[in-house]
Chains A and B, each alone.
Chain A
Amino acid sequence: MKHVNKRMCKIVDEFFTYFVDIGANNITANFKDTDDHYRLYLKSNYKTMDKKKLDQLIKYLNYPKSEEIENYYGELAGESDIDTKLTLVGLMPNR
């Protein structure tokens, strides 16, 4: 995968947008680059978390790994302040 570091930043960006969208005002991110994988730890508070939004988050993050879609549409991640594109976050990582 090309531009891995940039893509990691985009993933963090998408999560921050999602957290802010649910009313977070205290978000912590911890990023670790190990020999064989990246680890991203995110913690956030929230104001309004309805079940629908949580279900959607889980659904989007479970998008199967898809290099052909990631390669074409990956640029959209972290590009919009209108809504999140967590599907892109879901399809980027190897499982």
Chain B
Amino acid sequence: MEPNNKIKITVITIYAASLVAFGFIVDTPYEIAAGLLRILTRPDTLVTDYIGVGGMGAAFVNSGLLTLMFIFILYKLKLNYSGVTIAALFTISGFAFFGKNIVNVWVIVLGVFVYARFQKEKFAKYVYIALFGTALSPLVTEILFSDIWSLSMRIVVSVLIGLAVGFILPPLSTFLLRAHQGFNLYNIGFTAGIIGTMFVSVFKSYGFFPESQMIWSTGNNFTIACYLAVVFISMIVAGFYLDRDSLSKLKNIFEYPGRLIEDFVFLEGIGPTLVNMGLNGIIATTYVIIVRGAINGPTLAGIFTIVGFSAFGKHCRNIIPIFIGVFLGSLTKVWAINDPAILLAALFGTCLAPIAGEFGWIYGVIAGFVHSSVVLNVGILHGGTNLYNNGFSAGLVAAFLVPVINAFRKEEVE
């Protein structure tokens, strides 16, 4: 392991532990236990806000515990922390507020583990695919908590489906990178969308229809924003403490296009990366507040995912054009800027940031504008079983836009 790996592990562990601590500050242990029970015993298809289901304390404890579990697994695998590690862990933290929990993720992880064994390779080689791949956890719980068969039958079928999903994720996710050439940062979202669509199509053929839902809590903006402010400001302070040259290195970060793979932890160091993460966290939270959106489970997932990928491709120069694109869409299209789906489209749509970084901000605005329409139309394909619905949409948008933009750009070069 690298000598400064301990610093990175310590920093990320502190942030994961802070989620648990905050949970116990806002709720009593009894409320948290009761809330966790509600979270763990129901389907998780989009959109299931765990703050709405189990309360704020239980949702934060679920997020912190799940992140700590994965930190422990990565520690046992003796992996060096890189940008993708931070992106994967913050994605876990975020989605543990809306769809992933301390029980439903493990079957898919086990499926990836079985694939590694089948290939006679180390699980460590596939661990990031396993972490991101937990996006399809609702596919497991949708069957487990349905009423179609006996409980034993549902357990067997849901476990088999989870294993199958985990098994096919590695080859498929690697292959599908080519479709968007790394311009969609949430590649597993694209992959999970394809897998979810296939499985749900088969389900429907046998008369089983996964049901989308809309559990969307409101009224917690002040409390959660206070927690986020402390976290993001502390990231900026820690970044400058760990590296006095963080400011000049941050300017370097702003110069990278962000296309996969742009690992800021390796390229510029953990200090400026933390500053970038804190800054983007503040930008994302401010956006939600300005458009009068709710800070809840799903938007927390969006904010944390932006923060995580700020170690792996995102910075303010390439995410702001996406926000502008979605905002402009709200002025001309039939929905409002703070509708739940559009709020999520703006936050998660920043996975198209590499388009702005590589081709310029105008193309980033166009990408955001197009994405905000496409994302509303693709969820029905996988019946809400893919938590990274925006990653699915962004894969389609990138695969569509990049060749077109590239054709124009080639003419400009000539």
Contacts and interface: CB of A to CB of B under 8 A. Distances in A.
A75 B174 contact: yes
Contact of A68 (B125, B182, B259): B125
A64 B2 contact: yes
Contacts of A73: 177, 182, 260-261
B265 to A, nearest CB: 11
B122 interface: yes
Contacts of A63: 263, 266
Interface residues on A, range: 20 to 34
B15 interface: no
Interface string B148-178: 0000000000000000000000100111011
Interface in B357-413: 358, 406, 409
| Contact residues of A: prevailing secondary structure | helix
B181 A82 contact: yes
A76 B125 contact: no
B405 to A, nearest CB: 9
Contacts of A88: 261
Contacts of B79: 68
Contacts of B119: 2
A71 B406 CA distance: 27
B267 interface: yes
A67 B170 CA distance: 14
Contacts of A17: none
B127 A68 contact: yes
B262 interface: yes
Nearest to B122: A67
B355 to A, nearest CB: 11
Interface string A51-76: 00000000100011011110111111
Given A75-B177, A76-B181, A82-B181, A87 B128 contact: no
Specify which of B2, B119, B122, B125 lies most central, judged by the most chain A CB atoms within 10 Å of its CB: B125
Specify which of A2, A59, A76, A81 lies most central, judged by the most chain B CB atoms within 10 Å of its CB: A76
A68 B128 contact: yes
B80 interface: yes
A58 to B, nearest CB: 12
Contact of A80 (B126, B127, B182): B182
Given A67-B122, A79-B178, A87 B127 contact: no
A83 B255 CA distance: 14
B260 A66 contact: no
Contacts of A74: 174
For the complex of A and B, 8 pairs with smallest distance between CB atoms: A71-B125, A80-B181, A75-B177, A73-B261, A76-B182, A75-B174, A67-B125, A68-B125
Nearest to B267: A59
Contacts of A82: 181, 358, 406, 409
Contact of A83 (B173, B259, B267): B259
A64 B177 contact: no
